[in-house]
Amino acid sequence: MRKVLAKVDDARLGRAIAGLVTRALVVEDVRREGGAVRAKVRSTGKRGERVHVVGIRAVGRGFAVFCSCEDWKERGAHCKHIAAVALHELGAAAQARSTRSMVGLLLQL
């Protein structure tokens, strides 16, 4: 997911982080299967509430990405929705590692 984030420009990455913090962007309905993740990103902003579908799939040493938003369709840019899902997945992986560590510590007691 870090490789995905590396392709997001600073402005879009900043908007993704701000949106996640303020909950203007909410990642939901996450589905993981065989090195791919698909999620919906609920976006609340000036234009009201919208839901965009994001897909990220491992391909070789990189990733193929998709978003249903206009930014992706018109510019092909890695948008804030793609960044939000990548950040969400990094957080989920960190939480899973932390949970496994805690279980391991408890089992040692």
For residues 86 and 73, give the distance between their C-alpha atoms in angstroms, rounded to a whole number: 19
- pLDDT digit string, tens, across residues 46-99: 889 999 999 999 998 889 999 999 999 999 899 999 999 999 999 998 888 877
Tokens of 64: 């193929």
User: pTM higher than 0.95 for the full model?
Assistant: no
Residue 42, φ and ψ in degrees, nearest 5: -85, 120
> Which alpha helices (H) appear in the chain, and where do they start and end?
2-6, 10-22, 70-75, 80-108
Query: Which pLDDT belongs to residue 95?
Result: 87
pLDDT the model gives residue 3: 93
| Residue 2: alpha-carbon gap to chain centroid | 10
Which residue in this structure is represented by tokens 């496994």?
Answer: 100
HSE (side-chain half, CA atoms, 13 Å) at 64 = 5
Q: What confidence category does residue 45 fall into, taking pLDDT thresholds of 50, 70 and 90? A: confident
- Percentage of the residues of the chain whose pLDDT score is greater than 70: 91
